[in-house]
Chains A and B, each alone.
Chain A
Amino acid sequence: AQSVTQLGSHVSVSEGALVLLRCNYSSSVPPYLFWYVQYPNQGLQLLLKYTSAATLVKGINGFEAEFKKSETSFHLTKPSAHMSDAAEYFCAVTFSGGYNKLIFGAGTRLAVHP
């Protein structure tokens, strides 16, 4: 079965520190991968997406993610955390051949401390 796993339901970093949020997927077909961000009391918004072009994808707000096929991973990083990055982050995957349906991970809540 196709699935997506986010390692760590809560991640806490200091302001200015590296942010690393982990995402792994299981699939036998090429995936389309996404990271969405949800700020408190808001809907989700797209942070970045991978659709089989460049493996290093840059998104909004200084975030980027690298698709590693050999590791079936799509980890999200940001070199220097800002207080405004505190939010919940969701990795999501959809697979070619299926209709446009996303499978979401359980989410990682990022806390940023001064």
Chain B
Amino acid sequence: NAGVTQTPKFQVLKTGQSMTLQCAQDMNHNSMYWYRQDPGMGLRLIYYSASEGTTDKGEVPNGYNVSRLNKREFSLRLESAAPSQTSVYFCASSVGSTGELFFGEGSRLTVL
């Protein structure tokens, strides 16, 4: 019973490098999300996908792109990493509008 799976769990990048965080869910949820978690700031929404084929910006989208590859998978790409993007990234999914999210275990990214 995997739920939401994120890869990689840890990554260190140099400024300017690119990378993609992968997320997959096996709960047949329509909606998927990417959040970042920083100390004292709670979770902030980067992008979300209400359903397969759609994506929308959240609160802090600058410097990121996303792809909803299919119903299961939602990836987050950093094209040119910056130290300000050092954070813990969480992928989440939900059935619909109840607001109950199911989270992955997180991906800790450090940009030097």
Contacts and interface: CB of A to CB of B under 8 A. Distances in A.
B53 interface: no
Contacts of A27: none
Contacts, number: 62
Contacts of B58: 101
A108 to B, nearest CB: 10
Nearest to B101: A102
Interface string A21-46: 00000000000101010000111111
B103 A100 contact: no
Given A43-B90, A44-B90, A46-B100, A101 B43 contact: no
Contact of A43 (B50, B99, B106): B106
A100 B50 contact: yes
A38 to B, nearest CB: 9
Interface in B22-53: 31, 33, 40-45, 48, 50
For A46, A51, A102, A107, which residue has the most chain B Cβ atoms within 10 angstroms?
Answer: A102
Interface residues of A, number: 23
Contacts of B62: none
30 contacts: A9-B40, A36-B101, A41-B106, A43-B4, A43-B90, A43-B92, A43-B104, A44-B43, A44-B92, A44-B101, A49-B98, A49-B100, A92-B99, A99-B48, A99-B50, A99-B56, A100-B50, A100-B96, A100-B97, A100-B98, A100-B99, A101-B33, A101-B45, A101-B48, A101-B58, A102-B43, A102-B99, A104-B42, A107-B40, A107-B42
Which 10 A-B residue pairings sit nearest by Cβ, starting from the closest? A43-B103, A104-B42, A94-B99, A104-B43, A106-B42, A100-B97, A44-B103, A43-B105, A32-B99, A43-B104
Interface of B: 4, 31, 33, 40-45, 48, 50, 56, 58, 90, 92, 94, 96-101, 103-106
Given A34-B100, A100-B94, 15 more contacts: A9-B40, A41-B106, A42-B106, A43-B106, A46-B100, A51-B98, A99-B48, A99-B56, A100-B31, A100-B97, A100-B99, A104-B42, A104-B43, A105-B42, A106-B40
